[in-house]
A and B are shown apart, each in its own frame.
Chain A
């Protein structure tokens, strides 16, 4: 309860939470407010915003409703961000725990693999991966996760190294639990909080990476994403700037929201930890 109060004490965190909440509301409401395919052609092409109240934000190059795309885009952009972050955290936590808990050769091998992934620019990796496997939402998520799991892995490993020697782990050994069982049932849950603290950064980065991939023509054409909208709008940046500004602002707000809220959570927990 205390933590919650502390969270709501910082205006940044509240703003972040508010942005996130409205974003989630948008994502959930999208199919209710705009049923049907958001990519359906709804009116004349390149209609500017605030001209026709049935199409309040105007239309794009093919005459698709920008507002409907914006709402449905919230769904995919959030889904991409969350899925990529979840995948990255999962891989990172598992690799980090195994490396930290097993030590020795396994640790060495896993950490060199981690090094290898960290050495290759993650965007370049994502670019190559998507060009090769072909852009669909799942592939984009995988590509982003592929470049993002190393951070969580390192943090998890460091955390596991310090937990490994604690009493309750020794206790578990004594009562004869299997090493893997100890690693994943006793050690991992305790190592998780600092790893989870990375999630907001990863979600934000994932949303931005998706946008950059779309810019290079590597988005999923069957779904609306904000990145895809900006990428399409940029060819008419001078003629119809709203086409890239509208999703651009949405993207900036989302990344800001994710960041601020994430930071709020981390700070409120950090204060609690230093107090206890």
Chain B
């Protein structure tokens, strides 16, 4: 019953008790993995490209990670937080110029052809480096992949590249696709992008647009006795309330990625036969961040940014908007990160009086109507919680005399407004922490990024010290020294507030009691589900 963690951070006492009581009946239940069965899962969106080697995103992984495997997967207790998948071991050279992977023997693609180092070389050089959304940055200096034999792949880099970064990037960025399928024609237009072929425990069987995706068991899977399930079906449920209803009606057995709204969890945890699971997303931490446009004269003033930070009641945000399923943030690295996080940073406790004083000091006195100045606030529309936080932030700013007007855009318009047109003063964004600050975190504050790059510093912030620190960390090979630099990075960001980190959250799964072995790794929802089973 390890997946029913009751001691989660920030979980409200009341719901913790509820969880405990619903957990009791199943504890005596014989949880011996059973073979067979069809697992039906809720899916709220339909990714248009299912190739995880090109699109490294959770929406794609949710489906494709069962079909296409990575070199390594995240793990709760493996060395460096990793466990082997297609690679058995990985070794970085001392000069940072190469990394050697020993590959698993006897692995076959779904079409029966053997998996070899040529596939890894092809994926890295032809797909990850030129085409992948995240790989284009991380594998930028990759120049060659040597394949001395069928089971060895040696990555060669033009510049010293920290092995720690490559290691941390493996779970999300290293999906291996078959060379023989992709070497003909344009990779982006290959039909396998919509019907992926991989080495994973499940084969891609069928996609009915607007209805479902179907995966079937791979009988020739390399894992002993795996997979347990015969079939996985992703049922498309576009409405946010339907996953809960479908679970209760026993039409689906699992709703991951908080498909059941947080506010419904307390009620649904009392429904017999259903369990609420908060584990299995530790490696997929989303951060609630206030993005700031430093081109605005008021916001370029550190005192104003500090005032805004003091005006936000982070505990209220965690308790009311996330209903306890989140943690307050101190800086750009989430608290649950085992390698880089430091609590030793300047903090901004909730203090409206201090915030008002700071604004007075900065010279923005209240006018006769009680207002100091007006701002445009753009909450990202992707999550209910980012929109609710936008509503809250508007109220919090009103308390310190800042009149914020919310601009409600759909996703495409939001991306364009914030990251291309810079038509915002404050924005609320949910960047993802991907296990290493260099993958997608430093880009949030670094300067010199071209216009139009999403989820990057488009607020016109420029800090030479910080840029130098980021550059230094990117070429520091020693793991301890590199980690230390990122601790320094957190301090600098928290002190100068290029953006304000408010909270960190992961997702919640709700499943029927019969679903076993869920949440057994930190990226469970996007891992391969080879050992997941249906009991009874």
Contacts and interface: CB of A to CB of B under 8 A. Distances in A.
Asked if chains A and B are in direct contact (CB within 8 A), the reply is yes
Interface of A: 37, 39-41, 45-46, 61-63, 131-132, 134-135, 217-222, 234-240
Contact of A221 (B244, B321, B406, B413): B406
Contact of B406 (A37, A46, A222): A222
B241 interface: yes
A240 B244 CA distance: 15
B434 interface: no
A239 B395 contact: no
B263 A234 contact: no
A134 B379 CA distance: 13
B398 A40 contact: yes
B388 A62 contact: yes
Contacts of B267: 238-239
A40 B391 CA distance: 9
Nearest to B323: A45
B451 interface: no
Nearest to B407: A134
Contacts, number: 66
Nearest to B271: A238
Nearest to B389: A62
Contacts of B388: 61-62
Contact of B384 (A46, A63, A235): A235
A129 to B, nearest CB: 12
Contacts of B244: 238
B240 A235 contact: yes
A18 to B, nearest CB: 34
Interface of B: 240-241, 244, 261, 263-264, 266-267, 320-321, 379, 381, 384, 387-388, 390-392, 394-395, 398, 405-410, 413
B130 to A, nearest CB: 33
* Secondary structure call for the A interface: loop
B168 to A, nearest CB: 35
Nearest to B412: A131
A21 to B, nearest CB: 32
B406 A217 contact: no
A61 B263 contact: yes
Nearest to B262: A235
A218 B409 CA distance: 8
A62 B263 contact: no
Given A61-B388, A239-B267, A40 B395 contact: yes
B263 A239 contact: yes
Contact of A238 (B264, B390, B408): B264
9 contacts: A37-B395, A37-B398, A62-B388, A134-B409, A221-B406, A235-B384, A236-B264, A238-B244, A238-B264
Nearest to A134: B409
Q: Which residue, B381, B394, B410, has most C-beta atoms of chain A within 10 A?
A: B410
Contacts of A219: 408
A220 B261 CA distance: 22
Nearest to B381: A217
Nearest to A216: B410
A135 to B, nearest CB: 5
Contact of A131 (B240, B392, B406, B410): B410
